[in-house]
Amino acid sequence: MTRMPQLSIRSAGGTFAGLASLAALAVAAMPASAHAQTLGYDGFNGDGFNGNQQAPAEASDPDPSSKAGKSGKRGGKGGKRVQISPYIEVAQVVDAELSPGNDVLTYTQLAVGVDAAISGRHNGASASVRYERQFGWGKKTADGDAISGVARGYATVVPGVTVEAGGLATQATVNSGGSALTGGRVSDKSKTNIYSVYGGPSVATRAGDVKVSANYRAGFTKVDQSDAFVATPGGAAVDVFDKSVTQVADVEAGLAPGTVLPVGVGAGGSFYQEDISNLDQRVRDMQARGMVTVPLGRTVQVVGAIGYEDVEVSSRDAVRDEEGNPVIGSDGRYLTDKSAPRVLAYDVSGLTWDVAVMWRPSRRTSLSAHVGRRYGSTSYGGTLSYAPNDRSQLSLAVYDNVSGFGGQLNRLIDELPDDFEAVRDPVTGELSGCVSSLEGNNCFSGALGSLRSSTFRARGVAASYSMEIGRLNAGLGLGYDRRKFIAAPGTVLAAANGVVDENLWLAGYLSGQLGRSAGWSTNVYANWLSTSDPLFGDVTGYGATASYYRLLTRRLRASLAVGVDGVTRDDPAIDDIWTASALAGLRYNF
């Protein structure tokens, strides 16, 4: 993993049209979206509803935007910064297979890209987008192109109204059971392109003493996998996720403690829907709730909520042939029977309750933890943010939601900060799964563990830590994601119902400068993917890289990088795969 100004990016096969769309998204000031059915009162505090989660002692903050807190470090100082850095790059890459074979492949890479950062009092965004063309040397190497990018930000339209948007283009290697590994060798033909974009407005205002907020987000996610994954010829197929559209809306209104009553009172409602193209699956979650906030001191408050929810997951079956076998469509996936009635896979409705403790002793520390009943069972969640100084930051999140792959990916990208530098593999240029930032949650690796099309209930935890020490920059992200899949009985997806996929992931980087004209970086990643599906085994992926660069002129930079990647499986009949790669390249920054 290398910090953005010192690296190349490679990922997600695509075209110049895709590059243009991501670049436009980046400059237009971006993200937020698809909060996957959180209760939404994490910001309910002494001043009403506030996404900054301020304690009562800090409730006088005049900023009415429920999202502006994500950019407070940059824009709050009143300064303005616009940095747009386009570049071109040429590199020579050698990719050597260490096991089970010994092939050595050589490539020439040509790339164009742009890194952008925008900040001000009323807007903030960061983006990194790159298009690359690969030319293979020899009969075993294939030509190809790739696009990758990550963008997130916001813009204030008028006081109290903001528009947020974001996007991601990356790659993952699909393995047995539909599991997806980040990283990997340069020439890996099994890599799958993943795209996700979303955006929408947020409104925060007051009606007398009542504070009102509302948000709407729409998102689209596409996995560019041509067909269902079949581990062995004639074996069972895993219907890999194709695409989905998500919509999220919520509204809340409340009175702060001490305005009318000694306690704060409020009410809210939310709507979440994800429409998945595979077999016309749909996730719909509607809820309404009332809340009471009880201040226990200057920095601590307790919030209690009670409400009603209605959660449904449904789908249609595949078209069947005369023998009753599912029909595969021209896109390689099961052909949906549009004439068949919609079948319920999950239907939970009834009363919900939740109790949260919120603690914010200073602007550098905030904690929110809650327990309650949702989805017909006990649910836990919470967040922790701790920045002991201006050069280090810790973020922790515990989550529980029902969604599809697209909604989960949208949610995690939304939680990225809008002030970051992309972290990439210096050899392949692929997104590492984390960004370098001293704000918020810095990683999205947890969303890529499984590409099954079925919806699921996801429970997990994600943590990230980043710091700057002199000329050193370091970051570490790790987490655990557990998905229990939901599918309708009697349909082609019924076998996935109750299957549990688990993803334990880690990503870290360390970089530094050597004087004024040189620098270095290292990165590591690991994914441990396991499944309860008896037809597929567990998969583990590892990788590490190191790079060195030197400025030849003010704008021209030379780079050297090496890396090693491995994939192991618990099936002794399948060989482990290990590869080593090396890169030498030149990059010119305009």
Domain ranges of the chain: 4-589
CA angle 425, 194, 117 (to 5 degrees): 60
Give the SS3 label for residue 235: coil
Q: Which amino acid is at 252?
A: E
State the pLDDT at residue 188: 57
Give the SS3 label for residue 201: strand
Task: Return all residues near 551 (Cβ < 8 A) that are at least 6 apart.
Answer: 517, 518, 557
Q: Which amino acid is at 72?
A: G
Q: Against a cut of 0.85, is the pTM above it?
A: no
Mean pLDDT of each 10-residue bin along the chain, 590 residues long: 34 38 36 40 38 32 36 48 92 91 89 91 90 85 83 92 93 70 62 89 93 95 71 58 94 92 93 94 95 92 95 92 84 84 93 94 93 92 91 92 92 84 83 75 75 91 90 90 92 89 90 92 90 83 92 94 90 84 94
State the pLDDT at residue 190: 62
DSSP assignment of 7-59: -----S---HHHHHHHHHHHHT--------S--S-TTEETTEE-TT---GGGT
State the pLDDT at residue 557: 95
State the pLDDT at residue 73: 42
Q: Report which secondary-structure segment, H or E, holds 410.
A: helix 405-414
Provide the H-helix boundaries in 504-557: none
Q: Which two tokens stand for residue 226?
A: 């041509």
State the pLDDT at residue 590: 92
Chain centre to alpha carbon of residue 277: 20
Residue (of 334, 337, 319, 325) closest to 227 by Cα position = 334
Strands 243-255 and 210-224: antiparallel
DSSP code, position 407: H
Task: Return all residues near 96 (Cβ < 8 A) that are at least 6 apart.
Answer: 102, 103, 104, 105, 579, 580, 581
State the pLDDT at residue 201: 95
Strands 472-486 and 455-469: antiparallel
Residue (of 319, 318, 289) closest to 304 by Cα position = 289
